[in-house]
């Protein structure tokens, strides 16, 4: 993108009155209190306590201590003026071993959270699974094991019974791509397994779990206007090389359509079967699975951060046999490790991710074209920067600029006919950024990890103004 020419820094754009504005977190990233009130062990507890898995040896043991600071964090959300709050429920708090009876003390925490939101006029958007699988289920085979999908449905039914009279929006899974391909493919996320077949089996059983859970939720929930969704992270793919179209097709298949196909069209893409034929014949997909998976949704949750540029590799791809570690038989892209990811043009966030608001506009328009009847909601967008706190203030102009440009992109997509229902900024608080620990800060609110004190960043104030006025605030003198 050429700066100045089309820099996505329009201002004054207005969002409709019913457009949902809020922020998001996930249980393991903020809660802490991992051994309290009967909570069971999750794969992220095990993984973060395994040496060498997380940068600086960080764990979610304390995280933001949100579990103990619930009331003051709720007050902070109200101060920011959030209209909606997207959180996730830790399965091992509800069912410590992933099946059977519920743990009332765990339930109590989420009841207090939801009631606290409602008391402040904030709509609760609950995600059932943001990656914290009970360790007992992993020990029984994890997501590659079909039974995990049924266990997930059982858990969904419990949660629907408990909170189904109060929660506005239900989301089954957050980013199943990460659970399958990072958890079981590359192994950089919990449970840290690297096996292509395991990753593809996991992807299917996540899809199945989504469909079964959605059916259980619809049975259990009593709030008549509750909405149902799933959140996916899409790979926005580009490339100018002559082999780029093939590379784009491959990654779109194993990264995007592996989920949208079964969930939204009731079928896996044929080309995915061909690309992965050397790994599996997909016989783990049973006759009734696709009907179970393709449940109607009220909207699709879209997480977007940056774009990818791809081409096919010049040299023959590395094979599993090349690896010196016999445990590593997988990659992030099962069946497509001969695709090369090229460096992106900057600027970048502190994650090293390129800043490309046009990618968000392109994604929203493309999803709308692919699924014209399905409303969309941005369930995550935001940026990590190396914030500095000076005298109790965080002047995070980079984050404001990032958000300004992505809100502009969202607005432009709406102007092009996309039925976009809302936008949730990642994240409410700085938090545990998975394998990168506490090194990357995404929050609208800073967390001091020594004192656990919270400080609203300038971006938090900026977002408050956007919510209050429903317009993208005009840049101030010091912002560009």
Minimum CB–partner distance for residue 205 and ligand GCO (Å): 19
Residue 175 vs 396, nearer CB to ligand GCO: 175
Residue 29 vs 48, nearer CB to ligand GCO: 29
Q: Which pair of structure tokens corresponds to residue 89?
A: 């429920």
Minimum CB–partner distance for residue 131 and ligand GCO (Å): 8
Residue 55 vs 320, nearer CB to ligand GCO: 55
Q: Are 42 and 133 in contact (CB under 8 A)?
A: yes
Which entry of 31, 216, 380, 433 is annotated as an active-site residue? 380
Select from 410, 404, 399 the least CA-distant residue to 456.
399
Taking CB under 6 A as the criterion, which residues in 401-440 touch ligand GCO?
426, 433
Size of the site for ligand GCO (CB under 6 A): 11
Q: Is 85 in the site for ligand GCO (CB under 6 A)?
A: no
Q: Is 303 in the site for ligand GCO (CB under 6 A)?
A: yes
Minimum CB–partner distance for residue 474 and ligand GCO (Å): 28
Minimum CB–partner distance for residue 232 and ligand GCO (Å): 10
Minimum CB–partner distance for residue 386 and ligand GCO (Å): 15
Taking CB under 6 A as the criterion, which residues in 231-260 touch ligand GCO?
233
Backbone angles phi, psi at 399, to 5 degrees: -70, -40
Find the radius of gyration of the CA atoms of the chain: 21
Cβ atoms within 10 Å of 166's Cβ, excluding its own: 18
Give the chain's end-to-end CA distance (angstroms, integer): 17
- 427: preceding bond cis by omega (within 30 degrees): yes
Backbone angles phi, psi at 211, to 5 degrees: -65, -45
Contacts for 383 with CB less than 8 Å, ≥ 6 apart:
305, 349, 350, 351, 353, 355, 398, 399, 402, 403, 442
Residue choice 8, 15, 21, 26 for contact with ligand GCO (CB under 6 A): 26
For residues 117 and 126, what is the distance between their CA atoms, to the nearest angstrom?
12
- Residue spans of alpha helices (H) in 315-457: 357-370, 397-415
Residue choice 83, 289, 380, 387 for contact with ligand GCO (CB under 6 A): 380
Range 8-24 burial, b when 16+ CB lie within 10 A, else e: bbeeebebeeebbbbbb
Q: Does 380 participate in catalysis according to the annotation?
A: yes
Residue 171 vs 292, nearer CB to ligand GCO: 171
Residue 23 vs 276, nearer CB to ligand GCO: 23
Minimum CB–partner distance for residue 376 and ligand GCO (Å): 16
Q: Which stretch binds ligand GCO (CB under 6 A): 46-54, 170-178, 187-195, 322-330?
A: 170-178
Q: Is 466 in the site for ligand GCO (CB under 6 A)?
A: no
Q: Which pair of structure tokens corresponds to residue 224?
A: 């008549």
Catalytic site positions: 175, 380
Give me the residues that bind ligand GCO (CB under 6 A), please. Answer: 26, 29, 174-175, 178, 233, 303, 380, 426, 433, 442
């Amino acid at each position: 993108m050429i700066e100045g020419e089309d820099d996505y820094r329009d201002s004054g754009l207005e969002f409709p009155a019913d457009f949902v504005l809020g922020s998001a977190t996930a249980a393991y990233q903020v809660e802490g209190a991992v051994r309290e009130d009967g909570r069971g062990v999750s794969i992220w507890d095990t993984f973060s306590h395994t040496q060498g898995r997380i940068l600086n040896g960080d764990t979610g043991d304390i995280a933001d201590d949100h579990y103990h600071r619930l009331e003051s964090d709720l007050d902070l959300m109200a101060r920011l003026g959030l209209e909606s709050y997207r959180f996730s429920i830790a399965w091992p708090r509800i069912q410590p071993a992933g099946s059977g009876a519920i743990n009332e003390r765990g339930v109590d925490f989420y009841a207090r959270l939801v009631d606290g939101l409602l008391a402040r006029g904030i709509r609760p958007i609950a995600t059932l699974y943001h990656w914290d699988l009970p360790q007992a289920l992993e020990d029984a085979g994890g997501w590659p094991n079909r039974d995990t999908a049924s266990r997930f449905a059982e858990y969904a039914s419990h949660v629907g019974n408990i909170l189904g009279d109060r929660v506005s929006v239900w989301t089954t899974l957050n980013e199943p791509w990460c659970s399958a391909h990072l958890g079981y493919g590359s192994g950089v996320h919990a449970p840290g397994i690297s096996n292509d077949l395991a990753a593809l089996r996991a992807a299917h059983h996540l899809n199945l779990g989504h469909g079964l859970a959605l059916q259980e939720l619809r049975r259990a929930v009593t709030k008549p206007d509750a909405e149902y969704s799933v959140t996916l992270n899409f790979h926005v793919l580009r490339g100018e090389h002559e082999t780029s179209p093939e590379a784009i097709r491959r990654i779109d298949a194993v990264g995007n359509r592996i989920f949208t196909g079964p969930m939204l069209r009731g079928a896996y893409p044929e080309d995915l079967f061909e690309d992965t034929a050397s790994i599996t014949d997909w016989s783990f997909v049973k006759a009734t699975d696709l009907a179970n998976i393709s449940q109607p949704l009220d909207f699709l949750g879209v997480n977007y951060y940056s774009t990818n540029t791809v081409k096919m590799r010049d040299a023959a791809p590395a094979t599993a046999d090349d690896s010196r570690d016999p445990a590593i038989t997988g990659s992030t892209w099962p069946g497509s490790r001969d695709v090369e990811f090229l460096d992106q043009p900057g600027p970048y966030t502190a994650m090293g991710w390129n800043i490309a608001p046009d990618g968000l506009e392109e994604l929203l328009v493309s999803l709308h074209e692919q699924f014209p009847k399905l409303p969309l909601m941005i369930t995550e967008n935001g940026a990590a920067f190396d914030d500095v706190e000076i005298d109790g203030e965080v002047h995070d102009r980079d984050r404001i600029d990032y958000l300004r440009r992505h809100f502009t992109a969202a607005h432009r997509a709406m102007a092009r006919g996309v039925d976009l229902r809302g936008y949730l900024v990642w994240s409410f608080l700085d938090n545990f950024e998975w394998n990168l620990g506490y090194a990357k800060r995404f929050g609208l609110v800073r967390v001091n990890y020594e004192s656990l004190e919270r400080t609203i960043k300038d971006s938090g104030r900026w977002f408050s103004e956007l919510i209050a006025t429903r317009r993208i605030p005009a840049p101030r003198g010091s912002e560009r």
